[in-house]
Structure formats: C-alpha cells, structure tokens
Amino acid sequence: MKDLGKNVVSRHQVGEEDAGQRIDNYLLKILKGVPKSHVYRVLRSGEVRVNKGRAKPEYRLQAGDELRLPPLRLAERTRREPPPDPKLEQAILFEDDAIIALNKPSGMAVHGGSGVSFGVIEQLRAQRPQLRFLELVHRLDRETSGVLLLAKKRSALVALHEALREGRVDKYYLALVNGKWHNPRQSVKVNLRKYVLESGERRVSVEAEGQASHTIFELQKAWRDFSLLRAELKTGRTHQIRVHLAHVGYPIAGDDKYGDFARNKELARSGLKRMFLHAASVTFLHPIEELTMTVDAPLPEELQKFIKSLDAGDGAPV
C-alpha cells in the first residue's frame, strides 16, 4: 500500500494473508509514520470503514473486506532502510511458501527497538519486497545464535504460535557454562519476573510472584573449568536459560547480563568474545504440510574453535 498523505482517501482490500488479524494491529502495520494515537482516534470515531460500516479496534479482518481509510497526516520519515546484508540470505537453513528458518548470527537483534534501528525482520522485509507477509514466529536474544523461524503466511504464523503455546515445539540449545557440571540430567523450575532498568534494558530475576519456567539440562561434555550442556526449553520465558544457569551457580560463558564479568574479560582475551549460547535445533509440525520436521543449525565457527582450544589446553575433557 502506498504511503497516505493528507486530503487523500484510500481504499484497500484485505488479502488472504491478512485474514484473522485485528484491524488496529493491521492499520498500525500498514500506516507507517502515522502516530498510533491518531490511528486509534480515527478507528473509534468511525472514520475507518469496513464494508461501508464502522469497525471496533478488536474487529478481526476477513479476506475480501473492503477498507476505506480517511485522510491521514504522515509524520516526517526519519527512519532509514536497512542496507542489504548478504549474510542473512546465506544463513537460511530452510525455506518454502510458508516459513523461513535461518541460522541467526550472534550480535544481530531479531527486530528493531531499544536503540537498535533494525533487526532480522526489518532486514528480510527490505530484501524481500515481494513478500506481502513476513513475521517472526518467536525470538532469540541478540547475543544468541541459532535457529530462528519466520512465517510467510498468517495461517502459518497462527498455527505455529498455537503449537508454541501448547508445548508442541521442541527447542534445544547448547550452552557452555563456567564450572564443572556433575548431574547427567537436571531440571530447573523457578518463577521468573521481568523488569526494566532505567536505561530501558530488560532484565529477569527469580522471584516467587513471577511466571513459572522450566528447563531440562543434559551434560554433553565436561572440562576442568567448563561444561557443555544441552538445554531443552519446556517454557519460553525471556532470558530463561541464562537466568536458570546463573541461578544454579553455572553462568553461561560470555554472558554480559547474568554472567561472571571478570571471567568474561579473561575469556575475551582467550578468544571467546561472545556469549556461548546457541539455538541448535527446533522440531515442529509444519503448519501447512502437517509433517514433523527438525531444523538444525551448526555451531558457529567461533564457538567450535573455542571448544577445540579447551580440548587442546589444560582443560582437556575429563
């Protein structure tokens, strides 16, 4: 849809890919540059018409709905388009008409915000202008690498979100922690509460009034001072693996939020300049084909290199 200017009435037909979406969320998506307060004001006043009638903000669009949008004043555009990033196209692990699975690099945010101009989703939308729909299925921390799923159809997004809510998506991570882990298999169940620092940065703490969370850890390999764990997420809370491991006394190597900061500086000098947390695989039912599929992301080269240095050094596997 073209940008709307003042004194211009626009008409738009809802396509199949946008069916089921709330009209307020749909308008906020397509009316880039229009203040959010103004979008809700014209909705509540009845100036936005759906099939010639009024629509409440919670109305869910149907394929074929005819929208009439009133004249809207655009705010001055200041946000630049992200430059092409060939690494993202090279990072794609799987793609079909419904989904994209890619191996997100560490250091790249999944979306813009909190001081980040743009992330994976904005980047791919800019590089794939022909796609009418592209949304994140889930999120990964900026510092975490690994499998990230995106939906190219609203029906695929809805189906995968439902599967996530019902625990029908299996997500496994690899984490290198400080210390020698002893239990072959261990569950961590604690309540987590999110809060925001004055800087606007998100943090999570273990508190009784928080949300229930559960991770299962399995020991993969142990060295004198480090352990490699496989983490299976049973819930999907913000920073869950990072907080769980810090809580039990085994912070993730290189974690700049919940880790051992003095040790992190030593690790950086030894070659580990990022957090050692990688989303290694995701297993789910394909939302269209209804076949169970697993997407694996190989361990990034810098993490493989650090593991080799442990094998070759004083911290040889025990």
Q: How many CB atoms lie within 10 A of CB 302?
A: 14
Write down the architecture of domain 10-69 according to CATH: Roll (3.10)
> Which pLDDT score is estimated for 150?
97
Task: Tell me how many degrees the CA angle 215-241-116 measures, rounded to the nearest 5.
Answer: 145
Give me the CATH topology for the region 86-156: Alpha-Beta Plaits (3.30.70)
- CATH 3.30.2350.10 in the chain, residue ranges: 169-312
Q: What's the length of the chain?
A: 318
> Which pLDDT score is estimated for 40?
84
Distance separating alpha carbons of residues 199 and 202, to the nearest angstrom: 9
Which two structure tokens, joined as six digits, stand for 317? 């596997």
CATH code of the domain made up of 169-312: 3.30.2350.10
Backbone φ and ψ for 30, nearest 5 degrees, come out as -90, -20
- CATH 3.30.70.580 in the chain, residue ranges: 86-156
Distance separating alpha carbons of residues 26 and 33, to the nearest angstrom: 14
Which two structure tokens, joined as six digits, stand for 207? 């508190």
Q: Is the distance from CB of 30 to CB of 80 less than 8 angstroms? A: no
Distance separating alpha carbons of residues 318 and 253, to the nearest angstrom: 19
> Which pLDDT score is estimated for 4?
47
> Which pLDDT score is estimated for 100?
97
What are the respective helix, strand and coil percentages of the chain, to the nearest 5? 25, 30, 45
Q: Is the distance from CB of 164 to CB of 158 less than 8 angstroms? A: no
> Which pLDDT score is estimated for 3?
44
Is the pTM higher than 0.85? The answer reads no
- CATH 3.10.290.10 in the chain, residue ranges: 10-69
List residues with catalytic annotation: 141
> Which pLDDT score is estimated for 300?
96
Q: Is the distance from CB of 4 to CB of 47 less than 8 angstroms? A: no
> Which pLDDT score is estimated for 42?
85
> Which pLDDT score is estimated for 201?
79
* SS3 assignment, position 32: coil
Q: Does an H or E element contain 90, and which?
A: helix 86-90
Residues with Cβ within 8 Å of 77's Cβ and at least 6 positions away in sequence, in order, are: 32, 33
Give the mean pLDDT per block of 10 residues along the chain (318 residues): 54 81 85 78 87 88 88 58 78 96 94 71 89 93 96 94 94 97 96 85 91 97 96 95 97 95 93 96 94 96 95 63
Distance separating alpha carbons of residues 239 and 217, to the nearest angstrom: 15
